[in-house]
Amino acid sequence: MRRAIVFVLSVSANQNVIVTNQVRTLAFALRGRLHHATPIS
């Protein structure tokens, strides 16, 4: 029983890491696109 709980927690933690990495790369890409779109004076 305890082993199953640990397994579920580790799987959800891995999914959270994957989601945060995707969000981070997406935000980085959007930031770069905005950065290129607006010229720096």
Per-residue pLDDT reduced to its tens digit, 4-33: 999 999 999 999 999 999 999 999 998 888
Does pLDDT of 41 surpass 70? no
Whole-number Å distance between alpha carbons of 37 and 26:
16
pTM: 0.56
DSSP state of 39: -
**Look-up: residue for tokens 């891995």?**
14
- In one-letter notation, the amino acid at residue 22 is Q
In angstroms, what CA-CA distances link 31 with 7, 22, 25, 26, 40?
36, 14, 10, 9, 14
End-to-end CA distance of the chain: 62
